[in-house]
């Protein structure tokens, strides 16, 4: 069998849809898990060329490692199942993740500093989990990735993280066991390999740190720090052993970076492992103060604004009116822990008088201007099983028939999700805060969207009923179900909005 036929039912459970990837280890298919109502998964098959016992054992080990690592860290892809098909070909089933791999992101642009720090930190957290190791066959076993590169990093839009980052393909990870006699075969991607990896030496976490340094340079500049005379193994061997990395200034003289960050990236690319950071923890410790320093001014401004709004007036001058809710919203700035990126997330704004439900949105300045005069529509979808989850839908539609969908999930098994849903039901409205990608330091525009009475009542009922419900602990499946329902609703909502903007009648959930 040379390939897996699409639409084939694997193990009486997984309906293969289409091939989405192919590599040295095998093929990856998009599939539906029919046992879970058609939820989308990814199925990886072992290449037919690797069907000897040694490679089959390695594939099973890969699946086992990924399963354990995915459970330990939210920044490593999760494995759900594995087995052997009717043709005796090994496979395993992973979560299906919709997003861009980092190489696709970097093809569009180098990363702004705050986004770089957010993505780098999450990559390091995934590697930290692997490097700490797992209990494998009764032994504490350290795991080295061996192929850190942008195409093995997935960046996923996420309501909680802004962007959720996952490290992929531990398939060529090597178990570091003191008493084992592993082969020294070369695996990896030449442009990112450490000098010791190219020599076929036994590796430790410092090899991954070298690859991480190469990738971080590329993330910040859009270019590679080390160039080979040619693309052969020999060309890259010479480059990694004797060619010093290019400086940031030589690649982009206009790039202004903290000196501490430049030093960190360069130290990660040191030729000798002893000259690099000795662990991922050291890299995280170096990144943390940079993140704090860059965000400190913004956070301080927010705190001062909140403190000033709470101060009583103690002089004899005429008392100034308290700031309105919209004025308070306009004084906010984009959180330092969120990437400067086109994302949407919910937030409760606390003032001296009340709590305000709000939806924070980052768009280009041009898009914000287009939607300043638009019709707002909102709707809330709910699913109780397998996990109580609300999909908060906001749609902006202008007279040019341009539609912008703003959506986020509210998990009703979390305190924050419960509080937001109840606040929306009680207040009957929420603010939409727009921030420009080019000027995130100040809110650019505020809108208010009202919630229909029937929806307000449902929000309260959902919050109450979910408190006593039993969750199957599958929030991602609930999100998939809600997203599918939204896709069915979208054409109907757009048709109604078009009717409104061409003189049609009003309908629930709409605001001007």
Q: Which positions are catalytic?
A: 147
Distance CA 266, CA 203 (A): 20
Q: Residue 44, annotated ligand binder?
A: yes
Alpha helices in 233-279 (DSSP H): 233-242, 248-251, 259-268
CB 126, CB 166: distance < 8 Å: yes
Residue 460: exposure state from Cβ atoms within 10 A (0-12, 13-18, ≥19)? middle
Report how far residue 391's alpha carbon sits from residue 389's, in angstroms, rounded to the nearest whole number: 7
Contact 257, 220 (CB under 8 A): yes
Distance CA 402, CA 495 (A): 12
Nearest Cα residue to 437 out of 347, 292, 338: 338
The DSSP H or E segment spanning 69 is helix 53-72
CB contact set of 298 (below 8 Å; sequence gap of 6+): 333, 334, 335, 336, 441
- Distance set, CA 210 to CA 150, 217, 291 (Å): 14, 11, 21
Helix H or strand E segment including 411: strand 403-411
The 3-state secondary structure of 170-238, one letter per residue = HHHCEEECCCCCCCCCCCCCHHHCCHHHHCCCCCCHHHHHHHHHHHHHHHHHCCCCCCCCCCCHHHHHH
- At CA 119, angle to CA 243 and CA 411, rounded to 5? 165
Cα–Cα distance for residue pair 132/208, rounded to 1 Å = 13
Edge-to-edge strand ranges of the sheet holding 79-84: 9-10, 14-23, 26-33, 39-46, 90-95, 79-84
Which residues line the annotated binding site for ATP? 44
Which residues line the annotated binding site? 44
């Amino acid at each position: 069998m040379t390939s897996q036929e699409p639409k084939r039912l694997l193990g009486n459970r997984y309906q293969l849809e289409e091939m989405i990837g192919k590599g040295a280890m095998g093929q990856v298919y998009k599939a539906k898990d029919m046992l879970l109502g058609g939820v989308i998964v990814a199925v990886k098959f072992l290449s037919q060329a690797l069907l000897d016992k040694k490679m089959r054992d390695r594939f099973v080990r890969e699946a086992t490692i990924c399963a354990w690592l995915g459970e330990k860290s939210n920044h490593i892809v999760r494995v759900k199942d594995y087995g052997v098909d009717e043709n005796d070909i090994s496979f395993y089933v992973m979560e299906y993740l919709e997003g861009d791999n980092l190489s696709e992101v970097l093809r569009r642009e180098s990363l702004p500093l705050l986004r770089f720090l957010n993505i780098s930190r999450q990559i390091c957290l995934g590697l930290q989990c692997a490097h700490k190791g797992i209990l494998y066959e009764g032994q504490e076993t350290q795991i080295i990735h061996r192929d850190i590169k942008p195409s093995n990093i997935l960046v996923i839009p996420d309501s909680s993280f802004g962007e959720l980052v996952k490290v992929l393909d531990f398939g060529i990870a090597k178990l570091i066991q003191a008493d084992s006699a592993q082969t020294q075969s070369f695996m990896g991607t030449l442009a990112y390999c450490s000098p010791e990896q190219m020599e076929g030496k036994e590796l430790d976490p410092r090899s991954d740190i070298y690859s991480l340094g190469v990738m971080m340079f590329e993330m910040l500049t859009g270019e590679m720090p080390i160039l080979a005379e040619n693309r052969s193994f020999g060309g890259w061997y010479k480059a990694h052993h004797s060619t010093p990395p290019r400086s940031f200034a030589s690649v982009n003289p206009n790039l202004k970076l903290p000196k501490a960050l430049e030093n960190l990236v360069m130290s990660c690319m040191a030729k000798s492992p002893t000259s690099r950071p000795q662990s991922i923890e050291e890299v995280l410790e170096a990144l943390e103060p940079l993140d704090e320093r860059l965000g400190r001014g913004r956070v301080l401004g927010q705190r001062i604004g909140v403190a000033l709004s709470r101060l009583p007036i103690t002089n004899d001058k005429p008392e100034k009116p308290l700031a309105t809710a919209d004025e308070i919203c306009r004084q906010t700035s984009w959180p330092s822990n969120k990437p400067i990126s086109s994302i949407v997330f919910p937030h409760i704004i606390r003032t001296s008088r009340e709590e305000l439900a709000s939806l924070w949105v980052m768009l280009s300045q041009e898009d914000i201007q287009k939607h300043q005069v638009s019709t707002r529509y909102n709707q809330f979808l709910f699913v109780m099983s397998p996990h109580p989850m609300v999909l908060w839908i906001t749609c902006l539609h202008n007279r040019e028939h341009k539609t912008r969908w703003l959506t986020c999930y509210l998990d009703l098994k979390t305190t924050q999700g419960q509080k937001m849903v109840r606040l929306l039901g009680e207040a009957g409205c929420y603010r939409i805060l727009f921030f420009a990608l080019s000027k995130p330091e100040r809110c650019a525009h505020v809108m208010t969207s009202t919630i229909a009475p029937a929806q307000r009542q449902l929000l309260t009922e959902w919050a109450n009923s979910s408190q006593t419900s039993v969750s199957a602990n599958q929030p991602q499946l609930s999100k998939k179900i809600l997203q599918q329902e939204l896709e069915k609703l979208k054409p109907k909502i757009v048709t109604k909005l078009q009717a409104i903007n061409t003189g049609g009648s009003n309908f629930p959930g709409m605001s001007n």
